Structure 1
Amino acid sequence: MLMDSREPSRTEGPAGHGADAADAPSVTLSALPIAAALIDAQERYVGANTAFADLLSRSPAQLLGHPCHSLCPTEPTGLAALLRQARTQGGPLCADLPAAEADATTGRLRCRCQPVTDGQLLLLIDPAPPPASAPQAHSILDHIFTFVGVLAPDGTVLEANRASLEAAGITLDDVRGRKFWDCYWWSLDAETARRIRRAVRSAATGATPRFDIEKRMAGTSMVTIDLILSPVHDEAGTVTHLIYSAIDVSDRKAGEAALARSEQRFRQVVESAPDGLAMVDTHGHMVLVNTGMESIFGYTRGEMLGNTIEMLMPQRHRSAHGALFQGYLEEPTARDMAGRRELYARRKDGSEFPVEIGLNPIPTETGTMVLATIQDVTRRKADRQMIERALEEKTVLLHEIHHRVKNNLQVVSSLLNLQARNADPSARQALSESQGRVKAMALIHQLLYERNDFSQVDLGAYLQRLCVLLQESYRDGPARFTLQVNAADEVHLNLQRAVPCGLLVNELVTNAIKHAFPDGRSGHIDVTLVPIDEHQCAITVVDDGIGLPDDVAPGTSRSLGMQLIPLLSDQAGGQWQVFREHGTRFELRVSTTPQEAR
């Protein structure tokens, strides 16, 4: 309701009729831009604005107290029926009624009747239509696609454009003359209606309230609108009208909600990260830190935000960091800080600790920022040092083991040599061959001891030294031979396969020396090692002696050497072949793949 805030006064009506102060109009009619009058329960005028009085060629004061059927701008019978129906239904009604005879030139007038208070009715009558060249205000509003309307200062709806009405599925008659907060748009929520009412009151005092609010559309659908109530002042500065305008911001709100959810997920990821995360701007100031940073450094979030990243560094590194940081910003890339070199950070209590830092450039509207991932590696460093110490101890232990095994095998070899001195010739030969086998095994451990590599043996170097030992062992024997080794580099075998390969070469070369060159005959023995591909190598022992007899074959002959050849080949995980043309050629193919080690 538009309540008149002025003190009630006594107004004299025509023919001596007076209206007591209690009967004074409770609605500010002068604010309405159309003809308006207030009618009491006895159907007498208790108020009228100038536009209404002009329809009857009188002043507002001259109408007070007069029955409306005696001074009426429309046909009295139709008006009386409209008033009665409005009282009966208790709601606003609208009808087009013929103009009174005195105003027949105006044709038909649109009359709106609405109950107000104390049995009074508010009667609104549109004035005569303006000339065709002067468009009406509502037709102008209808060409505006946003929601627009005109209100009286007390919140009474005067006009609403087509966009606002059609979106809600209502007509202008459903809202004109009603209070803005009582209209269809806000009818689903009492709190929304109260908020609109407060905004109208604020705008009536000259303020321009603006806020987002839910507005009802057709049915029960809702949209979010950005609503503005703008006061219109006259020349004296009095608020005469309120302009209601709004735009649908549902999409914007949905986008803002999606952005808020995305930011929430980002913050959850950042906060749940076990490492420290710090976002640093182009000036080196921290603009974002997570809980991990508080836990690692002992500072609160407030103490770190806005400060430079240098506060987390040891004092000795701070002066040089600025130039390094700017150099990084010139060519920012995702990388480890300092190339995984040892870095140290400083806690709030002044203690230093080792860290690893990853840098990731983040392009933003204000420039490239850097997201630093900081890990406290104190425990990892301690664990690594413990592992290194344990590995060093095991290395020393293995080094000592191979050294002692080599020494023990040499002792065995010496014992065999001593035993051979007092043995008969056949036993001496067997002991000498056994001594050669022990030397071949001892040589393996000697190489492992010398090279500090206990996982694999350089097969080429091993065969070179093994053949030198064999050459020296049989230098004073009856055979005249030359022993040559052609070994490729970078052929390595593990210990489990290198030992049987060495023993096999020892047996083959020994057999060639003993049997290939009888009766003082001279000849050549060649030992060759070549890689076949990435996974295999070939060991070949060739002599140009008298050749292997037809009744002698590895694995079937009774001699120990011939029986050992297939057994040692199987232990090496290899495949062997024997060729008897132009002497004897024995070939062994061995896998160099570590997974195939036995």
Structure 2
Amino acid sequence: TVLLAIENALHGGLVITDNSLPDNPVVYCNPGYEKISGYNKEEVLGRNCRFLQGEHTDPAKIELIRDAISEKQDCSVVMRNYRKDGSEFWNGLSVSPVLNTNGETTHFLGLVDDVSERIDAEEALRTSELKLQQTQRLAKIGYLEWDVETMMPLQCSDSLPGLIGISRESILTQPGALYKAVHPDDRNWFAEIDRQMAQGGHEYELEFRIVRPGGEIRHIREIGELAYRKNRAQRCCLSTMQDITEQKQALEQLSESQRRLETLIGNLPGMAYRCRYDERYTMEFVTDGSYLLTGYYPADLIQNHRINFFDLVLPDFKEESRTKLHSSVDKDIPFTLEYQIKTGSGETKWVWEHGVGVRSDTGEVLTLEGYIVDITDRKQAELERQSSVDRFRDFSRIAADWFWEMGPDLRFTYASGQFYRTMGITAADVIGRTRGEVHDGPTYHRNKWTEHIKTLEAGEPFQDFEVLWTRPDGTTRNLCLSGEPLYNKDGSFAGYRGVGRDITAQKRIESQLRAHIELSPDAIVIIDRNGAIRFANAIASQLLGYTHEELIRSNTEKMAPAGTRVRHIELREAYFDSPRTRTLGDDFDLMAVRKDGTEFPLEVSVSPIEDAGETLVLASLRDVSERKSHEAEMRQQLLAYAHDDRLSTAGELASGLAHELNQPLTAISNNCDTGLIIARESPGMDPDLVQILEENYEFSHRAGQIIHSLRQLTQKGQHDKSPTDINSIITETVKLVATEARFAQVEIKLNLQKQLPIILIDAVQIQQVMVNLERNAIESMSRSDVSERVLSIRSTQLDPDTIKITVEDNGPGIRADIADEIFNAYTTSRKEGMGLGLSISRSMISLHGGQLWFERDRESGAVFHFTLAVS
């Protein structure tokens, strides 16, 4: 990040050399350096910066740089260098040492700038000035005397014809010959001077252009003065003419050079300046960049008109900056400073200043000249980088893992501290050596180590490579290594970077776990996604009847009954797509086949485990033959109890059913009689007869449903499970208790979720549970004095695997003294009750893989919930 910030802050090139390596080679260069030098990064790195020097590089400048590097001092020079294509350029080079916390010089930072254009501009300026001086010394001057009255030339010097390009004879004998040589655009000025002199003028000075016979245009300066001849009887004008063409051109070139120089200075980042070498460093010249840098315009800073620049420097930096500046000036070397200033807006900025003392011919320091740039972003990046480095160093120091790097020759170039602590060796044992030289690999898996070395030589990535390391003290460590290859921009191999960790404790735990698994009373197997058995303990071999060798690498399909093997594969693939810890065999019968062909019920608990990036499954197998036999006996007893309870329930419903049957049967009889009378007396079919017949059908259908439900409820024996809509079961049970609810003035409200999944249940058993809960609620509310008695029944899907049914009333609720025993057999709050309803209901729900419970600590009313598994 710091290098990126420097690149963004500078328009030129940046190189960093490593002072700790032989010949101080370049270890970093930015794109600006590549652009200036013409060399790409790969051609620069590892070389000394001398490769830019050439035939015309100033040896004195080279010696100055060499001395500065030797003395670990800042240095700035402008010298002639050569690009890759051989072309010359002027290099504005600044070199600064980089110190570590111990004050040792670890690197040198070089700023490179192509200042050829500036040098050319300065050279052009010097050349123009020289030409101007030569022109002034060597300029040819012509002399002319002419009559003010007649405007005719009287005499001229021998040099004038060559100056004007007209012969002496033409000048003196042809009227207007000289006037005609004047450029048409300048003749008005020429005529005006003639007129002024004729009217009594005494002197004049004029610049004009002449057009020589070949069309060449020359610039002439003429200076004239009134004179008299023949005892003042004749007025004449004495004039000198000078060809100033070269001078004009030189001045124009000088002006252009100055403009280009001002443009270059104006476009410098930050602020260029010249100041006096006094106590306050009074500014004499400042570029326009001062406003962006300081918040003050040049006029504010020059001559301390508004504020002194040195007053902007924060107090903590003044003394140090002054000391470094004076030290460099005394040694007659450039100075480089970094400090903070407070701008006119109150903002604090970091700035970088580079300058040099300007001396007189006697060696006296007259002024300081240099430039100052804003490096706030760079400093912030440096602070962030340092923070990142410190953070990485701290993590590397305290982390259990370690980091390592190799060069293209597969020799170690770096390893963090934990590497050495784990290995029990030092950096001298590692840096500069190959992995094979550091550790030749254990003898017991030589082939594995050889393959690893081949992987490194092929430049391939590797993950979680495990190796046993023997420390110098004889102790061993299990190591796990991972690495990724590195490549240069041109695609060439650059080495490796990776991590490592000590897995000795993990291996020890794995060994202990393996021992525990072997001693487990349950059969334990580990399988992969394809069903191959990777591990099996001794109990697994005993349970399935196979030897350990037969089990390992065999497939689990052959342990499943022939008719279920396809389903077995589907379930295994589905599990690996969404692995989670669960138990199989609770809600459906899971069968296994021993080697001898016998089948037995099995309960399987599965858990996903990760091994070297691969998902495996650890399965615990248990033979549940005895438990299944016991459950079957209990189920038969429960069916008997349930039958008795259903008979009791049917008896209690008998009176309601009788009323429910008598009413529609009586209606049917009456309507039939009425329909017959109407049919006999009326020639056509009366509409009322249709309505009566429809009512008869409705009542008779309802009576049939009631009778059918009663028969199912009282039917003895086990009912097969079948796909059923739970909402239809709820609706049917509501019809069964509707009369009882009406007599108790209870309103039944249904809130059934639509499109619930079809579930596999024993409809008669679930119907019995619903009737029991509904009748309990109705009976409880009939003993309460609430104004509105409401029985609410809701069905919802909790998740893809579960449906929940809720039965809620607003009666007196469940007494606290029986709350803990309400599901126990023979616990009841009714004198006429047997106390078996809720106990049997909970058992029935359990047989369906669900749960039945009630909400505790309610002030009034009772709320029962039960869940059913979605098939």
Shorter-chain TM-score range: 0.3 to 0.5
TM-score in terms of structure 2 length: 0.29
TM-score in terms of structure 1 length: 0.41
